[in-house]
Structure 1
Amino acid sequence: MLRGLTTVSLFAEDVAAAARWYTEVLGVEPYFTRPLGEQELAYVEFRLGDHQHELGIIDSRFAPGPRPAHPGGAVTYWHVDDVEGAFERLLSLGATAYEKPIERGPGFVTASVVDPHGNVLGVMYNQHYLDMLNR
């Protein structure tokens, strides 16, 4: 039934500010934007990684329900080669620690942060991901 990750959607009250932050984090500009009036953005989308997965940022007013008071819920982990380095870089760019790096078993290390817009962002070293790329 589930065939693969298509788009990860995050929400932000200021999409333009979130887009600037993620542009700095990712090192790429969004490839798609949808304006909301003349001064605001309703949506931006990045393509990233080995499979060009989509990361979208949506204006919070279009969220399907109220945003929670505290970050939580599902955590999407993006593969990185150096979890500790990625975690520290995210903190240096204004994110706050959600879960410090922890080894989950041989070849699997996770960490997560809360971005400046209240979204949880996970990073993970995942040997299975690398094995799949090599096939």
Structure 2
Amino acid sequence: MLRGLATVSFWAADLAAAKSWYTELLGVEPYFERSGYAEFRLGDYQHELGLIDSRYAPTGSGAGPGGAVVYWHVDDVSATLGRLLSLGAKEYQPPTDRGAGFVTAAVTDPFENVLGIMRNPHYLDVLGTRRDQQDVRQP
């Protein structure tokens, strides 16, 4: 039923500032933009991170961090956390060793969205399997 992450959307009262901040963090410009919306493609599977002008937020949406945390796989949690903090993010969850090679942390970006980061051995296993399958199919 759920086939994969399609788009994670973050609200921002100042969309231009959010777009600039994420462009600096990610090192790429949005690949798609419309009035009130900018979208980046990220990582090995080109998942989408959308920034939406908060005036389009559903009625009753709370201000500030809350709700679910989406964790993006990173190779080095400490280094990525350091980079996020250097760009003005605030620590939301300190680095936490979850055992068996899993480490998580989270920040709030300058626009009050929660951004999770994680070292996830299962992600690397799936990525390795997909690469092995691609190598077998190529002549």
Identity of paired residues, percent? 67
For the residue of structure 2 that corresponds to 1:109, the secondary structure is strand
2:97 aligns with one of 90, 97, 103: 103
Specify which structure has the higher proportion of strand. 1
CA distance, structure 2, for counterparts of residue 128 and residue 65 of structure 1: 37
Contact 2:39-2:51 within 8 A present in 1 as well: yes
Q: TM-score, normalised by structure 2?
A: 0.90
Matched, 1:46 2:40: yes
Give how far 1:105 is off: 1.1
For the residue of structure 2 that corresponds to 1:68, the secondary structure is coil
For the residue of structure 1 that corresponds to 2:106, the secondary structure is strand
Equivalent residue letter for 1:49: G
Residue 63 (structure 1) aligns with: 57
- After the TM superposition, which parts of structure 1 deviate over 6 Å for at least 4 consecutive aligned residues? none
Q: TM-score, normalised by structure 1?
A: 0.93
Per-residue Cα deviation, 1:8-47 (whole angstroms, up to 9, x for no partner): 0000001111000001111111001112xxxxxx000000
Larger Rg: 2
For the residue of structure 1 that corresponds to 2:22, the secondary structure is helix
Specify which structure has the higher proportion of helix. 2
Give how far 1:106 is off: 1.3
Give how far 1:67 is off: 3.5
CA distance, structure 1, for counterparts of residue 20 and residue 60 of structure 2: 24
Matched, 1:4 2:4: yes
Gaps in structure 1 of 5+ consecutive residues: 36-41
CA distance, structure 1, for counterparts of residue 86 and residue 32 of structure 2: 27
- The count of corresponding residues between Structure 1 and Structure 2 is 129
CA distance, structure 2, for counterparts of residue 17 and residue 52 of structure 1: 23
